[in-house]
C-alpha cells in the first residue's frame, strides 16, 4: 500500500485492528477455513466491531465472500452477514475454477469505480461466487452473472484481485484509499 501513499501494517490481533482507521481483508483460500483462522485470533469479532463502527473496510476475493451470510463451500460456513445471500459454487460456468481476466460490468456509479473505466478487465481466481445482490456496483459473467464488486456504506468488496489487475486494480485501490482518507 506504500505505492498508494498509505502507511499500512499487517495485523494479526484484535487490538491492532481496533486501532486502524481503515482495513483490507485479502483472501486466498476457502471460506470456512478463513473464518476459522480469523476466529482463532479473535479477529472475527474484531472485524464485526470494525465494520459496525463505520470504518472503511475492503474485502478482496474470499475477504469479499466473508461479507455474505454463508457459503456452501466444503460443507458450508457462516460469514459476517453484512450482505444477504449465500456464496455458492459456479453451476453453469464453462470451467471451474474461474481463473484469468474477465470484463468488469459497472452497474452504477460509486467512488470505488472512479477512473476504472467501463472497458476494464480484472483478474479472477475462484470456484465459488457471490450472488448478484442489490449492493453490487459491478458484475462479471462466467457462465453466470455474479457480484464482482459490492459496496454498502463503509463496506466494500471485490471478488477479483485488484493487486493482480494492473491499471484497473491500482485505480480501484487508489479510490479506496481516497475514500478511507475522507472518512478519517
Alpha-carbon dihedral angle through residues 36, 39, 40, 41, given to the nearest 10 degrees: 140
Is 70 catalytic? The answer is no
> Does an H or E element contain 45, and which?
helix 43-52
Q: Which cell goes with 150? A: 459490492
Rg of the chain in Å (alpha carbons): 15
pTM higher than the cut 0.75: yes
Catalytic entry in 98, 126, 142, 161:
161
Catalytic entry in 61, 98, 110, 126:
61
Which phi and psi angles does 136 have, rounded to 5°? -70, 130
For 141-176, what is each residue's pLDDT tens digit?
Answer: 999 999 999 999 999 999 999 999 999 999 999 999
CATH code of the domain containing 94:
3.40.50.880
Is 110 catalytic? The answer is no
The pLDDT score that the predictor gives to residue 22 is: 96
Query: Which DSSP letter does residue 6 get?
Result: -
**From the CB of residue 133, how many other CB atoms can be counted at a distance below 10 Å?**
15
The pLDDT score that the predictor gives to residue 3 is: 57
For residue 149, what are the domain limits? 2-183
Mean pLDDT calculated for residue range 77-96? 97
Count of domains forming the chain: 1
Is 18 catalytic? The answer is no
Q: Which residues of 19-55 are buried (b: 16+ CB within 10 A; e: fewer)?
A: ebebbbbbbeebbbebbeebeeeebbebbeebbeeeb
| pLDDT reading at 5 higher than 80 | no
Catalytic entry in 69, 88, 114, 163:
163
Q: How far, in Å, are 97, 102, 178 from residue 85 at the CA level?
A: 21, 23, 29
Amino acid at each position: 500500500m506504500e505505492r498508494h501513499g498509505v502507511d499500512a501494517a499487517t495485523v494479526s490481533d484484535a487490538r491492532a485492528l481496533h486501532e486502524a482507521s481503515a482495513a483490507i481483508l485479502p483472501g486466498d483460500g476457502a471460506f470456512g477455513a478463513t473464518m476459522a483462522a480469523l476466529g482463532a485470533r479473535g479477529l472475527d469479532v474484531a472485524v464485526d466491531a470494525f465494520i459496525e463502527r463505520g470504518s472503511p473496510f475492503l474485502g478482496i476475493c474470499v475477504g469479499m465472500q466473508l461479507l455474505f451470510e454463508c457459503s456452501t463451500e466444503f460443507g458450508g460456513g457462516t460469514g459476517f452477514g453484512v450482505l444477504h445471500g449465500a456464496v455458492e459454487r459456479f453451476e453453469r460456468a464453462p470451467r471451474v475454477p474461474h481463473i484469468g481476466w474477465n470484463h468488469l460490468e459497472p452497474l452504477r456509479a460509486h467512488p470505488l469505480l472512479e477512473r476504472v473505466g467501463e472497458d476494464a478487465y480484472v483478474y479472477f481466481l475462484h470456484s465459488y461466487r457471490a450472488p448478484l445482490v442489490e449492493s453490487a456496483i459491478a458484475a462479471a459473467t462466467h457462465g453466470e452473472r455474479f457480484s464482482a464488486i459490492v459496496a454498502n456504506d463503509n463496506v466494500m468488496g471485490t471478488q477479483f484481485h485488484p493487486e493482480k489487475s494492473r491499471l484497473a486494480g491500482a485505480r480501484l485501490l487508489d479510490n479506496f484509499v481516497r475514500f478511507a482518507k475522507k472518512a478519517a
